[in-house]
Structures are given as structure tokens and as C-alpha cells.
Amino acid sequence: MKSKITLKKIAKEFDVSISTVSKALKDSHEISEEVKEKIQAFAKYYHYKPNSLALNLRNQKTKTIGVIIPQIVHHFFTKVISGIEQVANKNGYNVMICMSMDSYEKEVLNMDMLANGVVDGIIVSVAKETEEKENYSHFRDLIYNGIPLVMFDRVIDEIKCSKVLTNDLDGGYLATKHLINIGCKRIAILTTPDFVTVGNLRLEGYKNALENSLIPFDEDLVLKIDEDKNIEEQIKTLFSLKEPPDGIFGVNEIYAAYAMKYARKQGYDVPEDISILGFTDGLISQFSTPTLSTVAQHGNTMGQKAVELLLNEIEYQDTDYQHQTKVVETDLILRESTKKL
């Protein structure tokens, strides 16, 4: 293979100095027209492009932002990424996406690699395992090293940085309240294990709504899904209660879709016998039968806001910039899986 063309090689070709070549390619007035022309022609012919590494090293910035997300197969995250791309590109920044696969180790590895000159700042949604282990030293290191950090969706309270989050508490409340309003008496919730904070917040919202409507909280109606086990089997227990639920709130669309599938298989009519409400407005919600009512999360907006906050921090690095927390509200999208009012 032919190795890449550099300033040095061009300089050698014309027996001039490297600085002359650099200036010639920048059309500097310091260089004679004659020399400029031949150098520019040569560079063009050989498709010369300045080496980004060298440029970044010199400029001490990369015009790239790093994003670490737990999973890319989740519709919500792809929406966030789209939002990130939009705003980043508009501001002349590139985006580098890494996946932690919800693993603590991979999260640390990715951060280490991004932190050392590769990007100007990092946007992250914390891996489940990290939340579980509560080991946050890699975030502290990052901040210590002066690299701007913004967390979104799955954030950590103890870490001081800008954050963008869904109003999960309110979303949970909204969902549950609506189920109550349409007449559900026994509302179950399908949520995540305790250590997943967003799941917990939605559960809190659920409890608040019950309390607000003077409906007693029933522990039996709370199902914490273990994703390593068969999900359908776990949902089954809900339907074999003496008093099975007449409304189900799933803290994500997968759980809701599973619940709906199982209910219909058992002969329930959705929404007549049981109403089902999900969280996150993904493809499943739109294409399931019946279509799924859901709490929309506006991932796109979250991504955009995250970049805005990050770029602020990147630019005001020297001044004592105050970290901000933006809360993105949720919306109820009513479709066919819930009874009409």
C-alpha cells in the first residue's frame, strides 16, 4: 500500500521546507504565486488531507464528543443519539458512540479510552452494573481531569455534573393516574430491579398516584422483572393472583408488550378487560395490536439538550461554570391498549 501523503513528503518533492508547504496550502501571502500553484496542484493530485491526530494534538482539542450508552438496540437510545448528532454536527462537532453493554468494566474501558485526548467531552447514560455496584470513581477521575461530562436518563446524584433527565416520577404518576381515571381498580406495575433508578422513580410516581386517589398500595401488584429469566413466566404470576389486575403499567415498552401478549393469550380483551400502558414511544408501541398507549420520553430532545449543556461546559472550561440539570417532561400518548375516558 502507498502510505499517506504528508507535508514532509511534499516538501521533499519540491525541495522546500515544511512550513512553506503548510503556508502554500493555506494560500498564505507569504508564499509566491508560482510556488503556491505547483504545491497546491501536487497536493490536490495526491489527495492530501491534514492528519487529524497531529492537528488535534497541536490544537489540544478534537472537535469530537464521546457518547457512552448501555445498549444500542433500545429505541430510546437511538433517538437520543439522533438528537445528539443533530446538535453536534450543527456546531461542527463529530460524535463517537461507544456501548457499555450495561457492563461496568466496559463502561470504564470506554471512558478511559475516550478521556485521553480522543474527545473534548463525554455524554453518558450509566450502565446497570455500575448502578448496582455503586462504583463511580471513573466519573470522578474524569471530572478531576477537567473533562466535561454530561449524564442523561440514567444519572448519578452523587456525581457533580450537568444532567438531562426524564421526569420519570411524573411519568409514572401520569401513567398510573390515567389508568385510575379510566376506571382501573387493581393496577399492577412491571418494573426493574431496585438498583435501576429510573425504574424506581417510575415506581414512586405509581405509588404517588395511588396515594393521591386513596387506593391502597398492594405489594403483590409490583413485579420486578429479572431480565435474565423468562419474562413471560414472571408475568404469569400476576395473572394467577386471586384478584388479577385490570390495569398494567410497564416501565418500558417491552414489558408492556409482553404483558399484553400474555393477557390476550389468556383470553383477556385489551382494553376492555384490562388496560395496558407502557413507557417510551418505540416501534413496538406503534406496531403492536392493539397499539400501545404509552408515556413518551422525547429522546431526541434529551440528546439535543445534553449536547447543548456539554458544549457550554467545553467552551467555558476556564471559568467556574455552574452545572445544570434539565428535566424533560413526558407526554401521555393514548392509543388502543387503554380504555377511552
Partner DNA sequence: TATCAACACGAAAACGTTTTCGTTTCATTT
Partner DNA sequence: AAATGAAACGAAAACGTTTTCGTGTTGATA
23 binding partner (options a copy of itself, DNA, none; Cβ < 5 to 8 Å by kind): DNA
- Of the pair 288, 294, the CB lying nearest a copy of itself is at 288
6 interacts with DNA by CB under 7 A:
yes
32 interacts with DNA by CB under 7 A:
yes
Q: What is the dihedral of CA 277, 280, 286, 289, to 10 degrees?
A: -30
26 binding partner (options DNA, a copy of itself, none; Cβ < 5 to 8 Å by kind): DNA
The terminus-to-terminus CA distance of the chain in angstroms comes to 69
Smallest gap from Cβ 331 to a copy of itself, in A, equals 19
8 binding partner (options a copy of itself, DNA, none; Cβ < 5 to 8 Å by kind): DNA
* Helix count and strand count (H, E) for the chain: 14, 12
Q: What does the per-residue mask of binding to a copy of itself show for 304-333, with x meaning CB under 8 A? A: -------------xx---------------
Select the residue interacting with DNA from 37, 44, 57, 185 (CB under 7 A).
57
17 binding partner (options a copy of itself, DNA, none; Cβ < 5 to 8 Å by kind): DNA
The CA radius of gyration of the chain, in Å to the nearest whole number, is 26
In which element (H, E) is residue 67 found? Answer: strand 64-69
318 binding partner (options DNA, a copy of itself, none; Cβ < 5 to 8 Å by kind): a copy of itself
Stretch that binds DNA, among 28-36, 148-156, 217-225, 228-236 (CB under 7 A): 28-36
Supply angle C-alpha 198, 201, 204, rounded to 5. 155
Q: What is the dihedral of CA 224, 229, 230, 233, to 10 degrees?
A: -50
d(CA 130, CA 148) in angstroms, rounded, equals 20
117 interacts with a copy of itself by CB under 8 A:
yes
Select the residue interacting with DNA from 47, 60, 228, 322 (CB under 7 A).
60
d(CA 321, CA 150) in angstroms, rounded, equals 13
73 binding partner (options DNA, a copy of itself, none; Cβ < 5 to 8 Å by kind): a copy of itself
Residue 147 cell numbers, joined: 473533562
Residues 6+ apart with CB under 8 A from 140: 159
Nearest to 251 by CA among 126, 161, 130, 153: 153
Stretch that binds a copy of itself, among 81-89, 191-199, 220-228, 323-331 (CB under 8 A): 81-89
Select the residue interacting with a copy of itself from 227, 283, 325, 329 (CB under 8 A).
283
Q: Which 3 state secondary structure label does DSSP give 230?
A: coil
257 interacts with a copy of itself by CB under 8 A:
yes
- The two beta strands, 222-224 and 149-152, are unpaired
193 interacts with a copy of itself by CB under 8 A:
no
Buried b (16+ CB within 10 A) or exposed e, 242-281: eebbbbbbbbbbbbbbbbbbbbbeeebebbeebbbbbbbb
47 interacts with DNA by CB under 7 A:
no
51 interacts with a copy of itself by CB under 8 A:
yes
- Of the pair 35, 215, the CB lying nearest DNA is at 35
Residues that bind DNA (CB under 7 A): 3-4, 6-8, 15-20, 22-23, 25-26, 29-35, 48-51, 53-55, 57-58, 60
